[in-house]
Amino acid sequence: EEEVKERAEQVIKKLPKKLDLDKAMKNHKVEYEQCLNSVLHQEIMRYNNLLSKILSYLKNLIDAVNGDVIMTSDLESFLLKMYDNKTPRQIEKISYPSLKPFSLWVNDFVEKLNFLQKWIDNGMPSSFWIDGFFLINSFLTGVLQNYARKVSKYLYLSNMYL
């Protein structure tokens, strides 16, 4: 239990703070020509939700090991999975698909949050890390919408002069 408690504390230290949705909405407004800003906002909401639930589970686990709260069967299964370096089912149910062991899953999760934070701070990247998205299909749909709107605008303008 103490070993898992230490791991949980290390994970909490490793996780960044929540992504700033208000800043993203201010700096990356949803516009007709830019559907990816909407994708960014949705991804931030998904990742912030996942982050808060993970932090809640980890803090509850630490409290249970300390004897401050009751060790429920749910927390015990979480503890056992962490001990085996497997992603707890409680996280798998609310997360993006991954087959990585828990320690690598946490590293990957932090990288995904950093990817989105760079987008918020520095603007849309020139290239995208596909695996960095919670829902890859939403990103691909946004790209297709941007392309379709650009092409349809071009076709509309070219037809005006025929």
φ, ψ at 95 (rounded to 5°): -110, 175
The tens digit of pLDDT for each residue in 74-116 reads 999 999 999 999 999 999 999 999 999 999 999 999 999 999 9
Is-contact 90 57, C-beta < 8 A? yes
List the structure tokens of 1: 């239990």
Is-contact 58 8, C-beta < 8 A? yes
Stated pTM of the model? 0.87
Query: HEC states along 110-134?
Result: HHHHHHHHHHHHHCCCCCCCHHHCC
List the structure tokens of 135: 């829902």
List the structure tokens of 48: 């912030």
> In the prediction, which pLDDT does 85 show?
96
Distance of alpha carbon 20 from alpha carbon 40, whole angstroms: 11
From residue 83, alpha-carbon distances to 7, 11, 54, 103 in Å are: 9, 13, 16, 11
Maximum Cα–Cα distance across the chain: 78
Distance of alpha carbon 37 from alpha carbon 25, whole angstroms: 8
The tens digit of pLDDT for each residue in 21-45 reads 999 999 999 888 788 999 999 999 9
- Which pLDDT band, with edges at 50, 70 and 90, does 122 fall under? very high
